[in-house]
Structure 1
Amino acid sequence: MAVVLAIVAGPANCGSNASSGAPTILFAGGVTKKRTLASAELYQPNQGASGSFVATGAMKTARVGHTATELENGQVLIAGGASKMFDGPKIFASAERYNPSKGRFSNTGAMLEARSGHTATLLANGKVLIACGEDGTTSLTDSELYDPASATFAETGPMSIGRDECTATMLANGKVLIAGGYQLLPDFSGSVLDTAEIYDPASGLFSLTGTMTSPRQGPTATLLPDGKVLITGGIDNNQNVLDTAEMYDPVTGEFSAAGHMTTTRYGHLAAVLGDGDVLIAGGMDNAGSSLKSAELFDAKSGSFGAIAAMPRDRFMVGATVLTSSTILIAGGYTQCPSSAASFCEKPVSTALIFDHKSDTFRSISSMTSPRGTFASASLGYHGGGHQ
């Protein structure tokens, strides 16, 4: 089973600081130590100088590898996932909705396919595209749409290739770019993909688009203000962690090389700021070390440059844009100080805010629970998907 860990980048919201004009953020599920969580919490930006985390109602089902997507009515769709990370988990088709006004989750219609490690993208028509993922034995080609009005899932066009650990990016034209990922086959063999495809909500169909410059499993994909998509890092077919980046141009439908990051990264975070610069931080490098280093992709020069590091290493963590110049980083994993295992991941509760004005990180109050492989969504934002 290929396991997908949450890498979530929220949409940009305009504002002046972390406590004004910033969204409330829902964090749901994931793992703490060896236990899968049903609990959820909110980051409330207006509590204290740097905001604080407070518990909210628990999900009906403990989940990992699920998605969280804010709907146009302000509620959040939680879909799919698995009962645990490894050792034969149960894969879920079930889904639920979070109501912020009541602070409660309730069950909604089930997906047509049980899937974990998928993507979920809010479309301009208010429906949610569920794509990619795997069912425990095979990467899925089937995709589906969730209709909030009827609270049901319905089949939409299949992808050309089954894939998980892919990216899904809502383009300015309303179409969705699906790129890279890993194709798991029923005999548990598989390969990393360099293919990409476009979903057209008008026709409900996927079509292949340009080929990436490298196969990539678990890269990040970030929509830039100019409409292009920056794709960074990931793992190739030789299990090498990559430092390369590439750019997708929706006008030409082609990918092109976009230089090198300052280090190899997988499981890192990437989030775009108001001026078009992209924060890239953390992850794991090709030596298997967890990283605290950070860098910026400069939108004007098209180059990467190192900035001050995070307080400590962190990987498989999401980054949610608070304002045009601040980003919240919370939870995820850190490398265990010492372990007999070849690699040990420790969920963390610590949180940071990145300030683009100084290009530095500052620690803020911690989450209510250590939490890794969670799903998150910005509340009060409409018009984009979370994956």
Structure 2
Amino acid sequence: MLAALSVAGLVGLLTASGCVNGVSIESPSQRGSAEDSGAAVRRQIATHSVKAAIPAAGDVLIAGGADASNRSLATAEFFDPSSGQFVATGIAALSRASASAAALSATQALFAGGFSGGATIKNFSLTLEGNVLSGAEIFDETTGAFSPAGRMATPRMGFTATELNNGKVLVVGGLDNLGNVLDTAELYDPAAHKFTAVANAMSDRRMFHTAILLLSGKVLLTGGATNMSGDTTNSADIYDPASNSFTAATFPMDHQRAAHTATLFNTGPMVGKVLITGGVGGSSFFFKDSSAELYDPASQEFTLLSSFMNEPRSLHTATLLDNGIVLLAGGFSGTVAVSGGVLSGASGLISNSAETFDPNTGDFTCVSGFNSETLRCNQSMSVARAAHTATLLATGPTPHRVLIAGGIGGADPAAHGRSLSSAELFNPADGGSFSATGSMATARALHTATLLH
């Protein structure tokens, strides 16, 4: 059982965003582990008796997450671009929030780790009751079902999973069951259904960091929270599949960051470079950040951009559009204090806006214009969201559009954040716009979204 986790509070603070008006909330918690709860087992047996719908290539699989009562979910559903609706599909053996997903093949996806249980938020303290998981499952698109996929050596939540060019999946960092932020990594081999340890540890511990597959086939790991006291890092590591090992990057980032984004440019004037945006950083204090920097693999240098985002964002999404522009949507715009290992205060808003980064000009532009009175982008999304997912669609009547699903938020950016079931589509035409689409069957935040092939 885990208690009073401050780093996990990067997420919990959003559901307790009553800090904006001085009010805190307390949500129901789930007693004991979700893995051995008799009621949970009975619910899963009943649900598994219903035949799962089978998705198709181009659909988006939404799995796990935390519901509106701050309980982890085992259910999954997929978005069908042709109908604009979500359809329930198979149920995982275990509920997972803050897990990671990675495509394994044309028809399978890996789901690993995560937190299984419930949460209570009171007076800025987040208590998690349950377990961090080591087990993994595979979702098979052809059957709509989940099956066991081996176990990691170490339970992890808030980690990254990256599909490598050789078909294996690199699992990095995260938080274990004892409250330790990890500097270790494992490699999943889908042929052997087995996780094996990476040869060495990273140069730093990382949770809520980023991992991006470079054009060289190596993986860039940046930033993250390093402990339970609210410390973040500006360090970076490079993983080389050829040696199955990490090497510390030659230079650090300009800013300390956690809960930020990293986006690889695969074409255009910045081809091969990585855009890093936002996040929160500091020591015993998560300060909001609107800055951005660019990583150049050739020089291994990070360069702080002269242009900043129009507002600070963390737990936001960054999506590379087909036209080479990056969409930055939603996120938390605020600052969080940590004292004695628990949240001691927070202030800020959940964002209902979006902006784009153009690699041709190096500029950030608000989707619906900039408000000179609030000094923020105008509202462009239907609701304020953070810890949501964003997936670029490839097929159906809406190719080139982005599916934004779930997250924590609400209609009022200053109100208490709740897990959302709503979804919307971003259309990049004519400067970009959002439009509502079908809602998910279940409210979700900290879930995964995987484009099926």
Normalization by structure 2: what TM-score? Answer: 0.76
Task: State whether residues 106 and 452 of structure 2, in contact with CA within 8 Å, keep that contact through their aligned partners in structure 1.
Answer: no
Tell me what 1:44 maps to: 80
Over residues 297-343 of structure 1, what are the superposed CA-to-partner deviations in whole Å (9 max), with x where a residue is unaligned? Answer: 0121011011121122111111101147311101111148699xxx7
Secondary structure of the structure 1 residue equivalent to 2:349 = coil
Q: Which residue of 2 aligns with 1:252?
A: 299
Q: Provide Cα deviations, 1:269-288, integer angstroms capped at 9, x if missing partner.
A: 11011121101121111351
One-letter amino acid of the counterpart of residue 177, structure 1? L
Deviations 1:1-60 (A, max 9, x none): 322769xxxxxxxxxxxxxx98211111111112221100011112x2xx2110001100
Alpha-carbon shift at residue 159 of structure 1 (Å):
1.3
Q: Give me the whole-angstrom Cα distance separating, in 2, the residues matched to 1:128 and 1:155.
A: 12
Which position in structure 1 is the counterpart of 2:354?
294
Instruction: Say which structure is richer in helix.
Output: 2
Structure 2: distance between partners of 1:37 and 1:150: 28
Match of 1:55 among 68, 88, 97: 88
- SS of the residue 2:142 aligns to: coil
**C-alpha distance in 2 between matches for 1:103 and 1:256:** 44
What's 1:191 paired with? 231
Which structure 2 residue ranges, 5 or more long, are not aligned? Answer: 13-55, 120-126, 335-346, 369-379
Equivalent position amino acid for 2:65 in 1: G
> How far apart are residue 72 of structure 1 and its match?
2.0
Secondary structure of 2:231's counterpart equals: strand
- What does residue 328 of structure 1 align with? 403
Cα distance per residue 1:44-92 (max 9 Å; x no partner): 112x2xx211000110001111111110252111100111354243111
- Equivalent residue number for residue 366 of structure 1: 439
Candidates 414, 417, 425, aligned match of 1:345:
417
Matches within 5 A, 1:182-261: 182-184=225-227, 188-209=228-249, 210-225=251-266, 226-237=271-282, 238-258=285-305, 259-261=307-309
SS at match of 1:192: coil
Letter aligned with residue 189 of structure 2:
D
Amino acid at match of 1:264: P
Q: Tell me if 1:107 matches 2:155.
A: no
Q: Which ranges in structure 1 are unaligned for 5 or more consecutive residues?
A: 7-20, 381-387
Q: Which amino acid aligns with 1:222?
A: T
Q: 1:24 aligns with which of 52, 56, 59?
A: 59
Q: For the Cα contact (< 8 Å) 1:336–1:346, is it kept in 2?
A: no
Distance 1:328 1:27, change over 3 A: same
1:197 deviates by 0.6
- The answer to whether the aligner puts 1:311 opposite 2:346 as a matched pair is no
CA contact (8 A) 1:67 1:376 kept: no
Q: 1:285 aligns with which of 327, 333, 336?
A: 333
Correspondence for 1:83: 116
Q: For residue 266 of structure 1, what is the aligned residue in structure 2? A: 314
Is the contact made by 1:266 and 1:283 (CA closer than 8 Å) also made in structure 2? yes
Secondary structure (helix, strand or coil) at the match of 1:27 reads strand
Write the deviation string for residues 248-294 of structure 1: whole angstroms up to 9, x where unpaired. 01111010012200011111111011121101121111351111111
Residue in structure 2 matched with residue 11 of structure 1 by the alignment: none
Residue pair 2:382, 2:411 contacting (<8 A) in 1 also: no
Secondary structure, counterpart of 1:109 in structure 2: strand
- 1:385 maps to what in 2? none
CA–CA separation in structure 2 for the residues paired with 1:169 and 1:62: 26
Q: TM-score, normalized by length of structure 1?
A: 0.88
Q: Is contact 1:336–1:345 with CA below 8 Å preserved after alignment?
A: no
